[in-house]
Amino acid sequence: MISHIQGKLVEKTPTEVVIECHGVGYEIHISLHTYSQIPDSENVKLYTYLQVKEDSHSLFGFADKKERELFKLLISVSGIGASTARTMLSSLNPEQIIQAMEGTLLGDPRQIDGLGGANSLTSKVAVISPSKLPGVDLDYLFVQVVVGKGKVSLTQTCGNLLAGVLPFAIETGMVKINAPTTSARINIVNTGGLCEVVLQSPNHEIATQGNAKVDGVVGTGSPIICNYLDTVGSTCGALLPTNQPVELIEGIEVTCIDNGMPIVVMKASDFGLQGNESKEELESNSILKQKVEAIRVKAGKLMNLGDVRDLTIPKMCLVSKPLDGGVINTRMFIPHVVHEAIGVLAAVSVASACVLKGSVCESVMQSPSESNLFSIEHPSGEFTVNLDHQIQHGELSILKSGVIRTARILAKGDVYIPRA
């Protein structure tokens, strides 16, 4: 591994530099961000990453270690290669995102300065661009701001934010609007999954008014249909990363599952809980939170996620018998605070666990009234997932997962970022 190169700057372009070191000229690929940081002085130093392939060795250079770490994080995501990661870094500066959302690189849990809402649910960023993939319209990169830590994470995606991607793309001219509906295929960059999104656009205008109701969201809106076409195992590599419907971790039976969002499902009763506890009750239970985190860290390794102590996945889900006519009741840890409802892809993964023979859900769930419709109860109401699945010869296959969301444009303008 070549950690850095320091020497004479021989050539400099927006995409490449040549640095001579002890008589050898090293061609190094760079981003526009690094290009802007390289001084015109004769002697320069770049932090590097060596990509080794069967037919080539490519050296990538970075102005600082933070950019190199973000590059390594990007290429670890399924579907993102080195060239794509370099392009992203040319327009995506992690420090700028943190400063825009928190107003400081030091982290402020109150988020008084910046765009965030002092909560992981309201500190999210979507980076949208036209896709170069065949048959795909848009690329959607999700960035989670780790509130109060001065960090960002690219290891997961967000289904709620995905609902706003198509309206944004239409407004910015990336997608042509049609009537009476407009659809687009969206590549979920973080996981490599694919989603077909359909919105109402009568008279070639985006509809915002409607009767679609999303529990946990105030008011109603026009329905936006999200059909997830390729999300099974998108982060962990398989629907069941451990190859078993149940694992015993820290003395608790769990189901580790990934259908768009890696989650660990556990019965609330195994923790001495009813399952109907409030967000405040669960968050004030320090013993419970310590136990859940201990399970999460061990489950992460079993789910091919490695050391997850600094990651936002897997999410942790407590399940219990439904309280209001649904299939199952849930309480989500995301991962260190309790969700006021449930995330889109977390609900999809819970529904998938409900059709999995031998999962921890079997003993507490109720059969759905319609075979494909799964009403997932949460603290703010319920979330219905249309899970198109089949079981053949005892094997579960997920064909498509559909959900209904709402979204509307709130504001347009410029974000003013304080100088570091």
Residue 80 confidence class, pLDDT cut points 50, 70, 90: confident
The pLDDT value recorded for residue 77 is: 64
For residue 81, what is the domain's CATH number?
2.40.50.140
Q: Check if the beta carbon of residue 246 is closer than 8 Å to that of residue 254.
A: yes
| 95/201 same-domain check | yes
Side-chain-side CA neighbours of residue 291 (13 Å): 19
Q: How many domains does the chain have?
A: 2
| 153/130 same-domain check | yes
- For residues 404 and 32, what is the distance between their CA atoms, to the nearest angstrom? 39
Host domain of residue 146: 91-215
The pLDDT value recorded for residue 79 is: 62
Do the domain assignments include residue 29?
yes
Q: What are phi and psi of 278, to 5 degrees?
A: -75, 165
What tens digit of pLDDT does each residue of 264-282 get? Answer: 999 999 999 999 999 999 9
Q: Picking from 341-345, 352-356, 393-397, which range would have the lowest pLDDT averaged per residue? A: 393-397
| 144/181 same-domain check | yes
| 104/194 same-domain check | yes
Q: Could you tell me which residues are beta bridge partners of residue 375?
A: 384
| 140/190 same-domain check | yes
Do the domain assignments include residue 100?
yes
Do the domain assignments include residue 71?
yes
- For residues 313 and 264, what is the distance between their CA atoms, to the nearest angstrom? 10
| 56/142 same-domain check | no
Read off the tokens for 247: 């694992």
| Domain end marker among 72, 89, 106 | 89
Chain centroid to CA 98: how far? 17
Do the domain assignments include residue 205?
yes
Do the domain assignments include residue 119?
yes
For residue 284, the tally of other CB atoms under 10 A from its CB is: 11
Average pLDDT, the chain: 89
Do the domain assignments include residue 286?
no
Task: Please check the confidence at residue 78 and state whether its pLDDT lies above 60.
Answer: no
Q: Could you tell me which residues are beta bridge partners of residue 263?
A: 257, 315
Q: What average pLDDT does the segment 370-378 reach?
A: 89
| 85/95 same-domain check | no
User: CA separation (Å) from 329 to 226, 266, 294, 351, 381?
Assistant: 23, 12, 23, 11, 10
